[in-house]
């Protein structure tokens, strides 16, 4: 498990991160699940790209919560990319199964560490954190699952026992901090997973489908 010090200010930066870190896993035919503005499409060369989303600029407009199956054959894509999407779905487990079905190579998936986002307002006793509040008007989107980084890793490890997949890479993203700040925190929270549950904001997985 590799820890990287980085922060995302825009969704576009996640697509850039995919290219920077995981390009070697990207094949000739790619499915981008939750593609938004399809930034990844412009970053990939000589790749047959398909983006799906409920809004933005997808090739296929699709509400993942209203379907039982993805509209693609089994083993259709060399690479399936799904960045910070699954936590928005009530049917997370069913869609995860579909991602595996339509993939024949690698799956690149990111999940947020919700505990990190919630920690400070809860400790302060005031404020709010996105996707879990109670706004006056019904929001267009929200998270349906509240989990820690440790739970995200346990979830993926559990899936390797259910499906023909293996984990080939895990990358944990933490916001850049002064070196001495990180050292002090790690001394206080000497258990690595406790530390990461508090301070890491995203975890990335690369899964390989065994065919």
What pTM value is reported for the model?
Answer: 0.93
Report pLDDT for 131.
Answer: 84
Give dist(CA 98, CA 127) in Å, integer. Answer: 37
Report pLDDT for 70.
Answer: 97
**Measuring CA to CA, which residue among 130, 105, 101 is closest to residue 118?**
130
Q: What is the CATH number of the domain that holds 76?
A: 3.40.50.150
Question: How many residues comprise the chain?
Answer: 211
Per-run averaged pLDDT (10 residues), the chain, 211 residues: 86 91 97 96 94 96 95 97 96 97 98 90 83 86 94 97 97 91 86 92 96 77
Give dist(CA 116, CA 194) in Å, integer. Answer: 11
* Domain span holding position 203: 2-209
Number of domains in the chain: 1
**Which residues, in sequence order, are CB contacts of 162 under 8 Å at separation 6+?**
none
Report pLDDT for 36.
Answer: 93
Give dist(CA 136, CA 133) in Å, integer. Answer: 10
Give dist(CA 90, CA 87) in Å, integer. Answer: 8
Q: H or E element: which one contains 154?
A: helix 149-162
Report pLDDT for 189.
Answer: 87
Report pLDDT for 123.
Answer: 85
Give dist(CA 35, CA 38) in Å, integer. Answer: 5
Report pLDDT for 69.
Answer: 95
pLDDT per residue over 131-142, tens digit each?
Answer: 888 888 888 889
Give dist(CA 54, CA 32) in Å, integer. Answer: 12
Which token pair is 15? 């697509």
pLDDT per residue over 47-72, tens digit each?
Answer: 999 999 999 999 999 999 999 999 99
Q: Which DSSP category does 137 fall into?
A: S
Give dist(CA 83, CA 103) in Å, integer. Answer: 15
């Amino acid at each position: 498990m590799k820890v990287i010090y980085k922060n995302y200010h825009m969704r576009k930066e996640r697509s850039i991160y995919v290219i920077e870190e995981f390009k070697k896993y990207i094949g000739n035919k790619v499915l981008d699940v939750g593609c938004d503005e399809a930034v990844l499409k412009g970053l990939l060369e000589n790749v047959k790209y398909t983006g799906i989303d409920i809004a933005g600029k997808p090739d296929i407009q699709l509400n993942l919560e209203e379907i039982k199956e993805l509209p693609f054959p089994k083993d259709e894509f060399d690479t399936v990319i799904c960045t910070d999407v699954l936590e928005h779905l009530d049917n997370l487990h069913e869609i995860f199964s579909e991602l595996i079905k339509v993939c024949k190579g690698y799956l690149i998936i990111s999940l947020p560490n919700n505990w990190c986002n919630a920690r400070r307002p809860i400790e302060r006793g005031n404020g709010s954190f996105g996707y879990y509040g109670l706004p006056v008007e019904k929001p267009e989107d929200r998270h349906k699952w509240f989990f820690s980084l440790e739970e995200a890793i346990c979830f993926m490890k559990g899936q390797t026992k259910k499906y023909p997949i293996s984990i080939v890479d895990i990358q944990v993203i933490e916001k850049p901090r002064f070196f001495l700040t990180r050292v002090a925190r790690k001394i206080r929270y000497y258990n690595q997973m406790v530390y990461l549950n508090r301070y890491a904001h995203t975890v990335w997985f690369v899964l390989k489908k065994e065919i």
